[in-house]
Amino acid sequence: MGKRRVGSVVLFVVLLGAWLPALQLVFAPPPRAVLVEQLARRQAVVALRDESDERALLRRLNPEWDLMSRTFGVLAFTNLALSEPGRADEHLAVADALIRQTLRDEQRGHLFFLLPYGRREPFHDDAQRSLFVDGELALMLAARQTVRESPEFRTALRRQVDEVARQLEVAPLHLAESYPDEGWTFCNSIAVAAVTLSDRIDGRSHRELVDAWLASVKTHLVEPRTGLLRSSFRHGGAPLDGPEGSTLWLSAHMLQLVDAEFAADQYRRARTLLGHRTLGFGWAAEWPAVLRNVDDVDSGPTIPLVEANAGSSGLALLGAAAFDDDEYLDALVTSLGFAAFPVRDETGLRYAAGNHLADAVLLYALTEGPLWKRASATPMLTRTP
């Protein structure tokens, strides 16, 4: 190789070394308020339609994603209703539309939101119900009623909370099934958050049940090498999958309503073992390095070498926001500008690398706060159900 060639390679490497740290400035996100406004506008457009291409695509790929996009949508718009009281009616109209559609679709059968393997065998639960569906619906209703009570949803909330509480009560170790013989920490933590949120507004108390669930989780679901919660288990509590980022970030946030100290500990551990931040960009791995696993449909693909996982990185936004980890949140949002391919049009903002669910998660992450604060500020009544 001639001197000139060596010189040009060295020059290229030096320039690359100067360019990479500057990239974060190129992809610096707009102010959060702008992002929220643009994302919310598009989410509202889709939510207010009974059917949409976005939702049809989610259903085709994974019916769970359809339900989850509605849950995160309701959580986002109820938070917006609290943070922008002048536009509360407008935001609640979006949340209400999502809840009505979900109550309607749930009538088509409880398996409507489950992947086909949900039909392969019966649930151990006598009522043949999934905590995934009942828990998310309960959380939507509890969030809505926490902002402002509507007579339309009063009975539905009580019915859903009763159903969720029943499932948690009768399940061995209080760990209920999302699919036949398969329970998820994600769904159990959502269900318990829904019950806790509901208790603060309807005057009942499920504290005994919640305490029993929490004790069971700490005893049976904590993976000993990492101290992180396992993501799934068999009916009866036998371990299935180990800790996964796409479960942990969300579960830690839900646990804030139930046991703030335990929740913060889970976040700190997940941040250490799964979170990454380099040159102003942030991402998250799905599995701790000490516990390898395989891709599954909920995790999404992982980019090798850097271990950046789509599902975990998306939900890490929520974890970072919920635990006021601003540096990590900024880094994650910067990564969205770089690697998630933002598309802006007359309907607002979406990220082409993701889907409608991912956009809903992001919107919730950026609006999160007021609802949990209100729940924490409301004194809990202690009347037993």
Which residues is 32 bridged to in the sheet?
none
For residues 152 and 104, is the Cβ–Cβ distance under 8 A? Answer: no
Please spell the DSSP secondary structure of 233-276, one letter per residue.
Answer: E-TTS-B-S---HHHHHHHHHHHTTT-HHHHHHHHHHHHHHHEE
Which residues is 246 bridged to in the sheet?
none
Range in contact with another protein (rule: CB under 8 A) among 14-22, 82-90, 122-130, 245-253 = 14-22
Count Cβ atoms below 10 Å from residue 142 Cβ, excluding itself: 28
Answer yes or no whether residue 25 interacts with another protein by CB under 8 A. Answer: no
Closer residue to another protein in complex, CB, 12/117: 12
What is the pattern of x (binds another protein, CB under 8 A) and - over residues 287-326?
----------x--xx--------xx--x------------
Nearest distance, CB of residue 66 and another protein, angstroms: 12
Q: Distance between CA 10 and CA 109 in Å, rounded?
A: 64
Answer yes or no whether residue 29 interacts with another protein by CB under 8 A. Answer: no
What is the pattern of x (binds another protein, CB under 8 A) and - over residues 149-188?
----------------------------------------
Answer yes or no whether residue 11 interacts with another protein by CB under 8 A. Answer: yes
Which residues, 6+ apart, have CB-to-CB distance to 377 below 8 Å? none
Looking at residue 180, the DSSP 8-state letter turns out to be: T
Q: Distance between CA 356 and CA 45 in Å, rounded?
A: 12
Nearest distance, CB of residue 338 and another protein, angstroms: 7
Closer residue to another protein in complex, CB, 215/297: 297
Report the residue from 32, 158, 227, 338 that binds another protein according to the rule CB under 8 A.
338
Answer yes or no whether residue 354 interacts with another protein by CB under 8 A. Answer: yes
CA atoms within 13 A on the CB side of 52: 19
Q: Identify the H or E element spanning 127.
A: none
Q: Distance between CA 363 and CA 311 in Å, rounded?
A: 15
Nearest distance, CB of residue 188 and another protein, angstroms: 24
Report the residue from 37, 52, 57, 307 that binds another protein according to the rule CB under 8 A.
57
Residues of this chain that interact with another protein (CB under 8 A) are: 4-5, 7-9, 11-12, 15-16, 18-20, 23, 26, 57, 60-61, 297, 300-301, 310-311, 314, 338-341, 343, 352-355, 358
